[in-house]
Amino acid sequence: MMSDAWPSSPYSSSAPDGEVLRSLHRLARDLSAAEAPAPFLRPVFAAVARRARLLAAVFDDLLLCGAAAGPLLLLLLPRSASLCLRELLLVLQRFKALVADCATRSRTRLLLQSDEVAARARELQHDLATLIDLLPAAELGLADDVSDLLALASRQCRRAAAPELELKAGVLALIQEVEREIVPERERLEGILEDVGINDPASCSDEIETLEREIGDRVAERWTSSMIALVGLLRYAKCVLFSAATPRPVDSKVDLDDAEPPSPPPDFRCPISLELMGDPVVASSGQTYDRDSITRWFGSGKSTCPKTGQVLLNLELVPNKALKNLISRWCRENGIPMESSESGKAEPAPAVGANKAALKAARMTASFLVKKLSASFSPEATKRVVQEIRQLAKSGSDNRAFIGEAGAAGLLVPLLLSEDSALQLNAVTALLNLSILEANKKRIMHAEGAVDALCHVMGTGATWRAKENAAATVLSLAAVHAYRRRLGRNPRVVESVVRLARTGPSSTKKDALAALLCLSAERENVPRIVEAGAAEAALAAVGEAEAEAAAAVLASLAKRGGAEAIVALDGAVARLVNEMRRGTEWSRECAAAALVLLCRRAGAAAASQVVAVQGVEWAIWELLGTGTERARRKAASLGRACRRWAAAANAEQSTECPAAADAPALTSAA
């Protein structure tokens, strides 16, 4: 019997007949009110709703008859009727599951799978018709008009609606034309989107987001290639068809408010860049990094784990999909784009790069937007176009390349000087997104006035988010050795970044400190950075939410000529020792590294201050036992440096004044 393949139900054996009837009535009413999730599925869903309304009337009559005979829970139906109604309940439950599943899918995915959805509905209607025919109407005592309703429902179930195939064929044909670099006609594109149910920028954005999530989750492997192509086509359509409309505010809660956004959990940040990870990957050491950061690390010739210091057996990287999903969910829940490297937005499946239609559509979109920006005279039109460029640049390296090749950098730079806060924010964030691509770094650095414009935003930007993204852009550009030198030689850049590190909210300070860390990797930049007050700014952040980046900056400055300036700061050594005791795993490691470098570069002036800090012995001992491999090495080195200084101080005191008390000495910690 067909029910052998169906899932079990709580009503299949023990539920009273009256409860089964109530559930049937409730399900039939729910299905009769079900709406089609897309226009092209209306015939299928309308047919289901009509059958459900007929059945709801039948079950309503059965409930009334049962209630008239006595308490419904005590109702006992003939066995054949009871079994048949339970099977009907299973079929209606499957109908409801199909409706719920369709409601969660993107419209374009539903279109691609419309024949499968229609086939499933047809199969369920056939099962429903069979069960209706088997239902013993005479044993149930149904009136003639109710029996007629059952017969009508059975006939209708055997005349299932056909799926919409013409629209699907038209969409697939459009994808093939885009592959051949044929630009879609506006009227045709508009007609297709209207038939799909996408008729405004908000619904288009929602469709793109849902489709990208489905691609990432690999929910329809057979259609993945077409879905990827549709993402590109929808982006193009959004720009061409809806660019004249006022778009839905993007990230307005985060971008346009001066309120400080929530700080990402430590586990969501890359240990190298200290930024929110957009593409977390696991190295062979078991540590997780952002792909861009660890790839640059390996590209510089290193083959060790940045966090543990161990030599890696291989340089293979395994995607950490579980962590990526957690980060994406956290960003959505907090209304935050993964913009610290807006590669952070979940990328479509790897097939994107190889999908010809998607690439052609992306190139068309980029070219359209940049041309529109160059010809735009209306401030409102400019704002809309820049916002679209920003969003497009978030979604992949190919899009960034196409936008950069079209000449967007030179057009965006003057907009950084705008007094319109939304325009300024979108322009600087678009540049940040573009700068992730190596080739675009050169385009931005060679754009006239780009560095000065970034300094303007960092100094007098309309919002903290704009200032933060300007600092993040400096960080991104400074990843190139030659640009790091050029930026470090510019007093305005250094002063602006230091000012943000000193006065900005937490997230802004983190970006500014990360930029200082990158700039200080060039030795010739360190004197200017120290002179601008970077050591003071970093020291003030030690012990705060930005402690990891601050300790790393102090270690970098100490390594390249800034040790004496740090030691001269009141309480600097004591604060680093305290961070080594109470900080996070990464900040403890950086604090220990900074203290070792201070002892090596500043000698007794630093070592004497370290030894004088109460509890330093215990801090070193604890780090030796619980720290990372690199932290343990640094702790051992710090212990040795302090013991050598203590021994030298004792020997000197013994020579000068044999009767004097011994100098402070550390017990062996190594």
- Please, what is the average pLDDT of the chain? 82
Phi, psi (degrees; rounded to nearest 5) at 12: -70, -25
CA distances, 241 to each of 38, 203, 294, 387 (Å): 20, 12, 40, 15
- Lowest mean pLDDT, pick from 101-105, 119-123, 474-478, 656-660: 656-660
Q: Measured between alpha carbons, how far is 649 from 610 in angstroms, rounded to an integer?
A: 14
CA distances, 479 to each of 275, 483, 518, 590, 664 (Å): 14, 8, 7, 20, 44
Alpha carbons within 13 A on the beta-carbon side of 637 = 17
**In the structure, what pLDDT confidence band is assigned to residue 422 with cuts at 50, 70 and 90?**
very high
Considering only residues 479 and 250, tell me which one the structure prediction assigns the higher pLDDT.
Answer: 479
Average pLDDT estimate for 395-400: 84
Which of 272, 358, 206 minimizes the C-alpha distance to 589?
272
Joined together, the tokens standing for residue 79 give: 């066995």
**Percentage of the residues of the chain whose pLDDT score is greater than 70:** 86
Average pLDDT estimate for 212-240: 86
Residue 279 pLDDT: 86
Residue 136 pLDDT: 85
pLDDT at 79 over 70: yes
Residue 458 pLDDT: 94
Residue 351 pLDDT: 41
Residue 390 pLDDT: 92
**In the structure, what pLDDT confidence band is assigned to residue 72 with cuts at 50, 70 and 90?**
very low
Question: For residues 327 and 253, is the Cβ–Cβ distance under 8 A?
Answer: no
pLDDT, tens digit, for every residue of 124-133? 989 999 988 8
Residue 643 pLDDT: 85
Residue 547 pLDDT: 86
Question: For residues 599 and 606, is the Cβ–Cβ distance under 8 A?
Answer: yes
Question: For residues 214 and 227, is the Cβ–Cβ distance under 8 A?
Answer: yes
User: Identical fold at 266-332 and 364-478?
Assistant: no
pLDDT, tens digit, for every residue of 509-564? 888 998 999 999 889 999 999 999 999 999 999 888 888 889 999 999 999 999 99
Residue 231 pLDDT: 87
Q: What is the DSSP string of 524-552?
A: GGHHHHHHTTHHHHHHHHTTSTTHHHHHH
pLDDT at 82 over 90: no
Joined together, the tokens standing for residue 207 give: 């469709």
Which of 343, 207, 327, 218 minimizes the C-alpha distance to 265?
327
Joined together, the tokens standing for residue 577 give: 């020792």
Residue 457 pLDDT: 95
pLDDT at 342 over 70: no
pLDDT at 570 over 70: yes
Question: For residues 280 and 291, is the Cβ–Cβ distance under 8 A?
Answer: yes
Residue 357 pLDDT: 83
Average pLDDT estimate for 337-347: 42
Joined together, the tokens standing for residue 62 give: 């059965």
Residue 445 pLDDT: 94
Domain ranges for the chain, please list them: 15-156, 175-240, 266-332, 364-478
Considering only residues 65 and 447, tell me which one the structure prediction assigns the higher pLDDT.
Answer: 447
Three-state SS at 571: coil
Q: Measured between alpha carbons, how far is 101 from 439 in angstroms, rounded to an integer?
A: 43
Residue 153 pLDDT: 86
Joined together, the tokens standing for residue 110 give: 């539903």
pLDDT, tens digit, for every residue of 245-295? 444 444 433 333 344 456 677 778 888 877 788 888 888 777 888 888 888
Q: Measured between alpha carbons, how far is 391 from 385 in angstroms, rounded to an integer?
A: 10
Residue 554 pLDDT: 92
Residue 347 pLDDT: 41
Residue 158 pLDDT: 85
Considering only residues 301 and 576, tell me which one the structure prediction assigns the higher pLDDT.
Answer: 576
Residue 313 pLDDT: 74
pLDDT, tens digit, for every residue of 20-50? 888 888 999 999 998 888 898 888 888 889 8
Superfamily of domain 266-332: Zinc/RING finger domain, C3HC4 (zinc finger) (3.30.40.10)
Helix (H) or strand (E) holding 227: helix 224-242
Residue 1 pLDDT: 35
**In the structure, what pLDDT confidence band is assigned to residue 664 with cuts at 50, 70 and 90?**
very low
Q: Measured between alpha carbons, how far is 116 from 475 in angstroms, rounded to an integer?
A: 50
Long-range own/partner contacts, residues 221-227 (CB < 8 A, 24 or more apart): 223/109, 223/112, 223/113, 224/349, 224/351, 225/351, 225/355, 226/112, 226/172, 226/175, 227/108, 227/109, 227/112
pLDDT at 491 over 90: yes
420-439 burial string, b = 16+ CB within 10 Å, else e?
ebbbbbbbbbbbbbbbbbee
Q: What is the DSSP string of 584-601?
A: -HHHHHHHHHHHHHHHHH
pLDDT, tens digit, for every residue of 148-187? 888 888 888 888 666 667 888 888 888 888 888 888 888 8
- Lowest mean pLDDT, pick from 74-83, 185-194, 283-292: 74-83
Which of 506, 514, 508 minimizes the C-alpha distance to 478?
514
- Lowest mean pLDDT, pick from 97-101, 214-218, 492-496: 214-218
CATH code of the domain made up of 364-478: 1.25.10.10
- Lowest mean pLDDT, pick from 280-294, 331-345, 500-514: 331-345
Residue 406 pLDDT: 92
Residue 665 pLDDT: 44
Average pLDDT estimate for 372-379: 81
**In the structure, what pLDDT confidence band is assigned to residue 565 with cuts at 50, 70 and 90?**
very high
Three-state SS at 442: helix
pLDDT at 623 over 50: yes
